Amino acid sequence: MAAGQFKAETLFELMNKHFETDEGKELCKKVNLVYQINLAPKKIGFNEVCYTIDLKNGKVIKGALEGEKPDAALSFVEDDFVKIAQGKMNPQIAFMRGKLKVKGSMSAAQKFTPDIFPKLPVSKM
């Protein structure tokens, strides 16, 4: 991985802060799923960095959960992940176009929508 941070890192930091709010806690109760996010700089499957969005315990960690399988593992090119998080790309359309790969529960994957991300100003990305 080249020097510099994934833009998604900023988003994950904001999610951790969001989970501490009442709105974030309510979201976790509603969704109650664990997603493994695999982000690649340019092509899915190459040089991926893994994150876990744990909507059962309200936290995002870098890496996979130890000893626990996610409800769904989702693989993206980072730019497409950020577009989905910002609501600029529909996850179902991304999946149909091959911009999103899913392993695990399809019903859990269908609950992966921009609604799980905190609303943020475009300047933050």
Look at residues 48, 55, 26, 50 and name the one whose alpha carbon lies nearest to residue 36: 50
Query: What is the chain's pLDDT, residue by residue, as a tens digit (125 residues)?
Result: 344 456 899 999 999 999 999 999 999 999 999 999 999 999 999 999 999 999 999 999 999 988 889 999 999 999 999 999 989 999 999 999 999 999 999 999 999 999 999 876 554 44
Is residue 118 within 8 Å of 28, Cβ to Cβ? no
- CATH label, 7-113, candidates 3.30.70.1450, 3.30.1050.10, 3.40.640.10, 3.40.50.300: 3.30.1050.10
pTM to 2 decimals? 0.89
Look at residues 87, 16, 83, 20 and name the one whose alpha carbon lies nearest to residue 54: 16
